[in-house]
Structure 1
Amino acid sequence: APIGDSLFSILNHAKAAPHIQSLSLNGVSLTYWCQDALQLKNLKELRITSSSIRASLDLLIGFSDDKDVSRKQESKLEKFTISQCSSLRDDHLRVVVTRLGGVLKELTLTQCLRLRNPVIALPVLEHLNLMGSFALQGLPAFSCPNLKSLDLSFCFRLRNESISRIIDSLPQIEELTVVKCLLLRELTVRSKTLRYLNVSYCDSLQKLQLICPRLEELDNDSCCSLDTLILSQAYSLRDLNVCVLPVRTLEVVAPVMSELNLVGCRRLDSCAISAPNLQRVNVRGSRTVALRFCKEVRSVQMRNWTRIPYQF
């Protein structure tokens, strides 16, 4: 049976309470009538999964009522996770922004099905995971200037404009994951800090343009509508895989790239590749006529041909 409203009182009076730094709760049921706040002064990490939370989040982060502002900075909570809690709504997150804005570094809200347009403004937040928030439509007043990692995977209702607006507001972003965002059709990313991008299974994505000089890894598996791929400043990218993608236009400037996989690119029509360090190329099953002006690619192919011994 789910644990009830008395849970926090039990934890607060436990002998180990002053020493608890990490707490995981699964299957918790907190009703509107819950009055006890979780008062673990040294708590740094809190995870709540598969639970029903109807009580105010004030109680989870140690505030018994909204008037108790004198204790606002006492919280040491740096990591906060709520997963598979269908009762969590947009208005619940206002408490997190108000109470933990100055300390929270990692926020995970996965499979919270009622989140639609939550306000997330956390100045020191570094990692945000909203994976599986199927009803999420946007993040109004979004402000996380120190964010380094963002996961918007399986946010089926997020559109181009919302995703682009979010990305443009992140000057420190290093990892971006937007797997299976079904309404994403075009994505342009300009970032001096981005190192990893995952757009896999974005079935509607037609154009991807990246101006990211520090990009080291790009995952684009099963982008079955991708028509145009432009990597104009891929100065840190070492390998590129566009295997069996329906790409027609491919433009790449990657000085250190050593490996290129173009297997099955039968629709390739326009191709411009600048990769002086290219060592391995696989063009099996691709439309090679589009590569006739790519000197580096042709050079690698020629070297490979000369290494094959002649057979009678």
Structure 2
Amino acid sequence: DWLDYSDDDEDDAPGPSSAGRLGGGGGSEGWSKHGRRRVHGVDRAHHARLRADVGVDRGALQGSPRARAFAIADGTGRGGVVVGARGTVDDANGPKVVPLDHLQMPAALVEMFGTSVPVEALQDAYAQCGRCLSRTVDALLALTLDDHDKPRPAPPESHTGVDLWDTLPREVRLLILDRLGPKDAARAASTCGDFAETVRAWRLNARGLHLPADLSVAGLASLAGAYPLITYLSLRKLREVVRDPVDVRRILVGAAAGPAVCTITSVDLEGLDAAVADKDLPAVLDCGLDAVTELNVGRCRRVTDKGIAALARHRRGCDLRGLSLAGCSPGVTVDGLEALLRGKSGGFPEMRRVDVSGCMGIRGSVTVPPRTVATSLRMLNVASLTELHAKLTADAPLENLSVSQCGTLRVLCVSAPRLERVNASMCKSLRRLELRCERLDSAVLQHCAELTDVREFRCPFLASELNVTGCKSLTTTTLTSMLRETPRLRALRAEGCVALEGELAASSRCLEVVQMDGCSRIGGVRLAAPVRTLVAKNCKALAAVWIEDPPPPEEDDEEEGR
């Protein structure tokens, strides 16, 4: 409360820094009671020397003899701020004029601190303090101690160490700022011009922003608008801070007010259960971020099928390409999932990525629409899912399918010409499997303990991996049949397949890695393949291993190679 926010014309009268507020004989005496503490960056003696030469127009007469030293009249009706090379008012340092009209902060901050802190750093500090003048002043004053408490710096000649910061490459400095986070980086920017420039460059390189939880809503809105090129904005750390839909909107509107309004394509609201419900989803798309195509509302339990329908009716619902509803339970059901996957007929013609992991409202059998436009479908830990059928057309673009940890899934039947990866690991009840996927590259079926009925496994381009580790019921005959249908397979992982017995034989021109640890009943392995790695530890019954030359290429393969 001892800061002088009044005009210098009022210095002789009782004011915030005079005897009228503090007691004593006058303004100078009241100031001395604070141990001659200087406001960080304010040199009143220096200001007094400049008063005679500088005029200001702040609604008063131009060129007043008592005008402030930190604003220069330019005859345009408003003044500007002169900032030297290191934040000092000095013509010899090549001053630059920053118009007050363009400052996104009160002029009082420039008046108090502009001679020692760069204007950009002041703007950052003001934004980080929730655009609150008093909080910003307190934060900047915290950098200054009383003269009698402040440690005396050693003479310059006694500093024998090397300033390692100046020796660091620019890329290393940016990596250091990545570890600091947005709030600490803003604090660093307020210390000196060099840090301010580095932080500015770091912000230009940033592509994602996770808002911190220790700022006010106004501060979060300002911070969201301070990064010019981000494509991803996450509010997931704000679960305990943001509990009102109005606050979510304020933050998103703040981001839309910044330069990244045209670059932010993904918004993450995961975990904001108290602030996001069905009626709030359309409002998220009305905040001015018209480039947003991906939305994550995972673990928002009040989101249901009605919210999906509301998005489908919204004017921008047709632009959505990704939607995560993971953990939106129990409101999201089979009906909502099928609406997302139907494409144009469901109201989402561009929907490519769908995540309904952990949605306990999805029960029983699910059928993927034949002409779905989705390229990725994640259904992890859908505990009540019993069957999944996907018989897709030749032009259906589905490439990734994950049904991992679906403990009640018993039947998986997939016919998808463009599918490349399937993950059905830890589906402990899975018994029946049908895969007709010409382009499949990776199949992960580990720990499907009940898998016995592999009715079809037509995957001619399966190359990267076939993982059946922990499939305790898988027989030698079934595994041999699967290997026969995958001539391009390079890696087989079959650890812990205790039902394998007798001799396992495989012939392939591509198989290089075979891992069969813990197959305690297997008696022999015969491989006609270019095997480089074979691991068969703890195979107690293993008596013989044959590795032979791979078979010659077939005529069809030779023609394909030509």
TM-score by length of 1: 0.73
CA distance 1:23–1:142, shift in 2 (3 Å)? farther
Deviation string 1:117-169 (CA, Å, 9 cap, x unpaired) is 31323221221111111222377996873311110011112231xx215x647
| Residue of structure 1 in register with 2:358 after alignment | 132
**Unaligned 5+ residue runs, structure 1?**
64-70, 305-312
Q: Deviations over 1:82-128 (max 9, x none)?
A: 12111111101112222334321121111111322313232212211
Distance verdict in 2 for CA 1:272–1:125, change over 3 Å:
farther
- Equivalent residues in 2 for 1:273-284 (5 A)? 275-282=508-515, 284=519
Which structure is richer in relative contact order (CA contacts within 8 A, separation 6 or more)?
Answer: 1
Give the match for residue 429 of structure 2. Answer: 204
Superposed, 1:41-190 pairs within 5 Å as 42=262, 43-51=264-272, 52=274, 53-54=276-277, 55-62=279-286, 75-99=290-314, 100-114=316-330, 115-116=332-333, 117-118=335-336, 119-120=339-340, 121=346, 122-137=348-363, 145-160=372-387, 163-165=388-390, 168=392, 171-190=396-415
8 Å CA contact retained: 1:211, 1:234: no
2:123 match? none
Larger helix percent: 2
Deviations 1:32-90 (A, max 9, x none): 9x998955353422111221224432211107xxxxxxx9xx93211111121111111
Give the Cα separation in 2 of the matches to 1:198 and 1:23. Answer: 29
Distance 1:272 1:210 in 2: 22
Q: Is the 8 A contact 1:38 1:61 kept in 2?
A: no
Q: Secondary structure at the match of 2:546?
A: helix
Give the structure 2 partner of residue 24 of structure 1.
Answer: 234
Aligned AA for 1:302?
Answer: W
What CA distance in whole angstroms lies between the structure 2 residues aligned with 1:213 and 1:188? 14
Identity of aligned residues (%): 21
Q: 2:39 maps to what in 1?
A: none
Instruction: Report what 1:243 is aligned to.
Output: 469
Query: How far apart are the structure 2 equivalents of 1:134 and 1:85?
Result: 13
Contact 1:260/1:280 (8 A) holds in 2: yes
Seen in structure 2, the aligned counterparts of structure 1 residues 273 and 62 have a Cα distance that, compared at 3 Å, is same
For the pair 1:285 / 2:506, whether they are aligned, the reply is no
More strand by share: 1
Residue 288 of structure 1, CA deviation? 4.2
Following the alignment from structure 1 to structure 2, what is the Cα–Cα distance between the partners of residues 111 and 30? Answer: 20
Distance 1:110 1:225, change over 3 A: same
Q: For 2:232 and 2:424, how far apart are their aligned partners in 1?
A: 33
CA contact (8 A) 2:245 2:280 kept: no
- Label 1:48 to 1:261 Cα distance change in 2 as closer, same or farther (>3 A): closer
Q: Give the stretch that moved more between structures: 272-281 or 229-238.
A: 272-281
What amino acid maps onto 1:133 in structure 2? C
Change (3 A) 1:257 1:24: closer
Give the corresponding residue for 1:223: 448
Which whole-Å CA distance do the structure 2 matches of 1:260 and 1:155 have between them?
28
Q: TM-score, normalised by structure 2?
A: 0.43
Rate the CA distance shift 1:148–1:244 in 2: closer, same or farther, 3 A. Answer: same
Shift of residue 239, structure 1, vs aligned partner: 3.6
Change (3 A) 1:89 1:142: farther
